[in-house]
Amino acid sequence: MINNKTIHISNIFKATRKFNKLQQSEFAAILEITQGTVSKIESGNMVPELTLWFKFLKYFQISDPYCFTHGGVEFHEKAIQTILNNGSNLAPTSKIDIKKRHLTVRIIRPIFDYLFKNHLKNFEDFLKEQKVSIEIFYIFNHPLSQNFVESIFSFLQNQGINSKNLALLDFNVNNTYGSQPLDPYNEHQLEYFFKAINSDENFIVNYKLVTNKNYYSASLNLKDKVLINELDPKSLQHTYYMLYPYYFLKSTKNCLSTAPVIEMIKKNSTWKISYAS
């Protein structure tokens, strides 16, 4: 029976194999199984036994043994550094300028989940044009070039998706920050979530939670003035960055259908995002 666990393991296996530029036969040889077993796992028709699962985690240096519960994986920092230096097998033509800031998959994973559910065929065609493998979105800490991120937001606009649609985005916390349950009424856990977002040093926005006030602030990182100047405050991309924590709050706190209010409090650098609760 195919369930979420089976699908998640299938995606993780396939993403790991393609990330390492391995054929199924080569992947099977490393794990000392048959190619047919790999094929069954990747097609969602088989769940690996525990011994195989832990062998897989150990060989590919995956630290989270429960990654199958949230549909994605994080690779060792050395592997990520290799991408920054040499490029990725999952996006061979999408070069990352290490002198500039870049996003990780985690930041736009909610968008991927939305497109996968509602616009899959067009999204697959878009990725084919970009020469990017869909498996890239199952590697949470995989870096993405700024050009590719901008092309995703252009694709959203071409699909007729605007800021109002994004305000209602369904943020699947498990598919973005792991399976640890977060209590929206627990101040310390909410602070943990905001800290987790801000821990991404390459993200150009820093967020500050204001507890019990139904708002938070978003400040652009002034260390990268070039990218900040290129980011249009009226753009869909800018709106998404401003509302990123709101999507989480909405999904866990039952923040309501009323749209959040974005108010600039310091010209082109700091915003206040208010929401109903």
The three-state secondary structure class of 144 is strand
Do 63 and 107 have their domain in common?
no
Q: 261: pLDDT confidence band, cut at 50, 70 and 90?
A: confident
Task: Single out the residue in 69, 103, 123 at which a domain terminates.
Answer: 69
Q: What is the mean pLDDT of the chain?
A: 83
pLDDT: is 28 or 162 the higher one? 28
Helix intervals (H) in the chain: 4-19, 24-31, 35-42, 50-59, 77-86, 105-118, 120-130, 146-158, 163-167, 174-177, 187-198, 225-230, 236-253
Do 184 and 260 have their domain in common?
yes
Indicate if the pLDDT at residue 102 is higher than 60: yes
Q: Angle of helix 4-19 relative to helix 50-59, nearest 10 degrees?
A: 30
Per-residue tokens: 152: 């995703």
pLDDT of residue 181: 47
pTM for the whole structure: 0.86
Q: Give a yes or no: residue 38 inside a domain.
A: yes
> Contact at 8 Å (CB) between 30 and 56?
no
Q: Give a yes or no: residue 169 inside a domain.
A: no
pLDDT of residue 254: 55
Do 180 and 157 have their domain in common?
no
User: For the segment 38-87, what is each residue's pLDDT rounded down to a tens digit?
Assistant: 999 999 999 999 999 999 999 999 888 778 777 788 888 888 888 888 88
Instruction: Give the DSSP per-residue string, 246-262.
Output: HHHHHHHH---SSPPEE
Task: Single out the residue in 69, 93, 118 at which a domain terminates.
Answer: 69
pLDDT: is 259 or 162 the higher one? 162
Q: Which residues span the domain enclosing 87?
A: 77-161
Q: Residue 102's closest CA among 81, 129, 127?
A: 81
Indicate if the pLDDT at residue 97 is higher than 90: no
Tell me the mean pLDDT in the region 192-209: 80
Task: Single out the residue in 161, 186, 220 at which a domain terminates.
Answer: 161
Q: Give a yes or no: residue 247 inside a domain.
A: yes
Cα distance between residue 158 and residue 176, in whole Å:
25
Q: 172: pLDDT confidence band, cut at 50, 70 and 90?
A: low
The mean-pLDDT minimum among 14-18, 26-30, 139-143, 224-228 falls in: 224-228
User: For the segment 173-182, what is each residue's pLDDT rounded down to a tens digit?
Assistant: 666 665 444 5
> Contact at 8 Å (CB) between 55 and 93?
no
Question: Exposure pattern of 35-49 as b/e (b: 16+ CB <10 Å)?
Answer: eebbebbbebebbbe
pLDDT of residue 130: 94
Tell me the mean pLDDT in the region 87-104: 81
Q: Give a yes or no: residue 31 inside a domain.
A: yes
pLDDT of residue 96: 80
pLDDT of residue 184: 46
Q: 3: pLDDT confidence band, cut at 50, 70 and 90?
A: low
Q: Give a yes or no: residue 214 inside a domain.
A: yes
Per-residue tokens: 88: 């990725």
The DSSP bridge pattern shows strands 205-210 and 215-220 to be antiparallel
Do 265 and 178 have their domain in common?
yes
> Contact at 8 Å (CB) between 62 and 68?
no
Q: What is the DSSP letter of 45?
A: S
Q: How many domains does the chain have?
A: 3
Do 92 and 121 have their domain in common?
yes
